[in-house]
Amino acid sequence: MSRKIPDSEYEKTLSFRLKRWLDGTKDAFVDTVEMQEQKEFVEDDTTVINREIERQQRLYRLYDHANNWGISGFEKLYRIFCVCFCIFLVVMLLISVSYLPSYGQPENPVNNEVSQRYIENGLQETGAVNIVTGMILDYRAFDTLGESHVLFIATCTVLILLRKDKKKDEWGNDIEESDRIYEPKNDVILQTAARVLVPPIIIFGIYVILGGHIGPGGGFSGGAIIGAGLILYLNAFGFEKTERFFTGKTYKVMSVCALGCYCLAKSYSFYTGANHIESIIPLGTPGAILSSGLILILNICVGIVVGGTMYTFYVMFRKGDY
């Protein structure tokens, strides 16, 4: 049976020193290495000045294009390459154009059965008097859906890149920056003109959208007109009044609903057309406002996306938020 030794003897043993070293309670260099107080390193002014002079000399040698043959040679080679590439590109384009058929010839590839069908059977198959509208919203509606999504994605990109973070006050509340710094203050002429012009502009844009299948117009042109009306109203009265009826949330909801409605409507048309199933949606009487099947609804969806996109682009480039 082992006996317990006193602490004074235990502290002299190797096991005690090993345990203290493992626990980190004893620094092995204490009382064995001469310790001095660390002093702050201060460089003299001459050394600092010499170092700065050396740095300036290195930068001068690096960016001295006249004597630095590496940089000057690269610049000359780059210019020669750019000229050669431009010449090559122009020659290739001219050669390609030389092989194109003459404009207006009956045997040109553009004069094929596709365009012939658009012209001859467009009214019967789409119900739209406007051949262009029937083509882009019926025959090529899938492409138009992609174009609408391109506008929406472009708006999302602008929102990400140009959005301004809201400033906080000392209590953590948002500080609303006045939009009046971006525009003339209470311009009577502009506001009077806006009161007179904005309602007809909006009404005309709606008319162009709703009549796109029976005459010139459609969702793209009508949406651009409505977007111009919103921009005019914003310039005249500012964000405070405009955001009473149109905010960032309003645009997001309208765009998502419009694109979703477009997708559902054309998915039905794609399904029935691919499976040779007769659609239950009547084409109506050509020339009537309620005709051409789903084209009227698709025009409204496109107009909503285009109008909101134009207004959002303007707001983000002007203020960075709304």
Question: How much is the pLDDT for 9?
Answer: 76
Task: For residues 7-13, give the mean pLDDT.
Answer: 75
Lowest mean pLDDT among 64-68, 97-101, 205-209, 237-241: 64-68
231 — pLDDT class (breaks 50, 70, 90): very high
Residue 143 pLDDT > 80, yes or no?
Answer: yes
Residue type, 33: V
> Which DSSP string corresponds to 207-252?
HHHHTTTTSS--HHHHHHHHHHHHHHHHHHHHHHHHTTT--HHHHH
- When the pLDDT of each residue in the chain is averaged and rounded to a whole number, the result is 82
Query: pTM surpassing 0.85?
Result: no
In the predicted model, is pLDDT for residue 176 greater than 60? no
Mean pLDDT of 177-194: 75
Highest mean pLDDT among 146-155, 202-211, 266-275: 202-211
Rounded CA gap, 294 and 162, in Å? 36
Residue 168, classed as helix, strand or coil, is: strand
pLDDT band at 304 (very low <50, low <70, confident <90, very high): very high
* Helix residue spans in the chain (DSSP H): 7-10, 14-23, 45-63, 69-98, 113-126, 131-134, 141-162, 188-210, 219-242, 248-274, 295-318
**What average pLDDT does range 53-70 have in this prediction?**
75
- Is the pLDDT reported for residue 224 higher than 90? yes
Q: 228-234 long-range contacts, Cβ below 8 Å, gap at least 24?
A: 228/201, 228/310, 229/197, 229/198, 229/201, 229/202, 229/205, 230/307, 230/310, 230/311, 231/310, 231/311, 231/314, 232/194, 232/197, 232/198, 232/201, 233/194, 233/198, 234/311, 234/314, 234/315
pLDDT tens for each residue of 273-301: 778 888 888 888 888 888 888 888 999 99
- Asked whether residue 199 carries a pLDDT value surpassing 80, the answer given is yes
The model's pLDDT over 29-40, given as tens digits with 9 standing for 90+, comes to: 555 556 566 777
Among 47-51, 234-238, 271-275, name the one with the lowest average pLDDT.
Answer: 271-275
Region 39-45 average pLDDT: 78
- What does the pLDDT read at residue 173? 62
- Bridge partners, 168 (sequence order): 174
